[in-house]
Amino acid sequence: MNLIRILIALSAAALTGCASTHANNPADPLESFNRGVYQFNDAVDKAVSKPVAQGYNAVMPVPGKIMVSNFFSNLDDVIVTANDLLQFKFVQAASDGSRFLFNSTFGIFGLLDVTGRLEKHDEDFGQTLGYWGVGNGPYIVLPILGPSTLRDSVGMVADSRPSKLRRVKHMRTRNQLLVTKKINRRSQLLDQEKVLDEAALDRYEFTRDAYLLRLKNQVYDGEPPREKYDDEEEDSVKPHASLPGEPSAQLADAPAATVPASDASIAQQPATPAAFELSQAQYPQQNVHQLWVEQRNGIR
């Protein structure tokens, strides 16, 4: 219920601020508001989340951190399996459901990952909506939770229904588990944060573009459709007849240079300044983006 109240309050505040919002990106019509929330989240992270995560990282032995990560990852497989079924991915659902079943029993409540040979997937209700054609909606930065979209915000509320953590009746125990999950996730991102500091001139823009790119990649299971840009449309127009002094029109019929396979996926990335930096290292943008997204997912 607290999450729903936050979303309602956010929506009301966003509507109030729409008149004074100046957006440069069509996907981010609430940019002025979002930048303010982003700065607030950044301040909270530096004052609270990051120091606590650093302390956790220092005192928790590596085997302990692995078991904690396995435990929460196993609980997330319940949500993943439910969304597999909603997307009619029955083979994937069988695999993810088996992971949860065997890790919960032979893996001692998920502390041990005994199903390492089975691929772990990442599905949520936001991706399910995207799978069935629902658009992202406006980009939104939620207080404390970080980057999202209207579609993902709805999905986050829906995913809380099958969440095993939310079903723990003892409030103190439930809150302790949620906080532990969040701290564990934040500690995993301490090293990746350096990439964000070094690569981004505008941290907000970099995070937003990385988030939206990764979101699209997730919805299409790593194979998003290639976008066609204006300059490509101009190149596809048949050239006019050659005039004296101009290159021969036969040159236009020459076969186009092929793009090496290693560069093909880079050519598919949006040509924004921040996205260009992201494409340089191919998919490390997923790690950079997780600095905020994993904090959001950590309190499901």
- For 31, counting Cβ atoms within 10 Å of its Cβ (0-12 exposed, 13-18 middle, 19+ buried), the class is buried
Q: What is the mean pLDDT of residues 273-286?
A: 42
Residue 231: the pLDDT is 55
Secondary structure E strands in 150-256: none
- pLDDT attached to residue 209: 92
Comparison of pLDDT for 111 and 160, the residue scoring more: 111
Q: Give the pLDDT band (50/70/90) at residue 280.
A: very low
Amino acid identity for residue 242 in this structure? S
Q: How confident is the model at residue 260 (pLDDT cuts 50, 70, 90)?
A: very low
Q: Nearest Cα to 224, choosing from 165, 159, 186, 270? A: 270
- CA 96 from centre of chain: 20
Bridge partners, 142 (sequence order) = 146
Please tell me which residue, 260 or 81, carries the higher pLDDT value: 81
pLDDT tens for each residue of 71-129? 999 999 999 999 999 999 999 999 999 999 999 999 999 999 999 899 999 999 999 99
Chain mean pLDDT for the chain: 77
- Is the model's pLDDT at 267 over the cut of 70? no
Whether residue 130 contacts residue 219, with contact meaning beta carbons closer than 8 Å, is answered with yes
- Do 104 and 74 touch, CB atoms closer than 8 A? yes
DSSP code for 157? H
What pLDDT is recorded for position 233? 53
- The strand pairing partners of 141, in sequence order, are 147
Residue-level pLDDT at 89: 96
**pLDDT tens for residues 179-199?**
999 999 999 888 777 777 776
Residue 289, classified by CB atoms within 10 Å of its CB into exposed (0-12), middle (13-18) or buried (19+), is buried
Do the Cβ atoms of 27 and 205 come closer than 8 Å? Answer: no
Interval 31-48: pLDDT, tens: 999 999 999 999 999 999
The more confident residue out of 295 and 27 is 27
Which of 62-76, 133-147, 150-164, 235-249 is predicted least confidently?
Answer: 235-249
d(CA 113, CA 129): 30
CB-side neighbour CA atoms (13 Å) of 237: 7
Residue 156: is its pLDDT beyond 60?
Answer: yes
**% pLDDT > 70, the chain:** 67
pTM for this prediction: 0.68
* Spatial distance between the Cα atoms of 95 and 85, rounded to a whole number of angstroms: 11
Top pLDDT among 132 and 253 is at: 132
pLDDT at 162: 83
Q: At what angle do helices 203-219 and 285-297 cross, to 10 degrees?
A: 80
Cα 258 to Cα 43, 155, 264, distances in angstroms: 47, 40, 9
Q: Which of 194, 192, 188, 207 is nearest to 73 (CA)?
A: 188
More reliable by pLDDT, 13 or 64: 64
Q: Domain residues of the chain, as ranges? A: 2-10+28-189
- Which pLDDT belongs to residue 277? 40
282 has a pLDDT exceeding 60? no
| Three-state SS letters, 78-106 | HHHHHHHHHCCCHHHHHHHHHHHHHHHHC
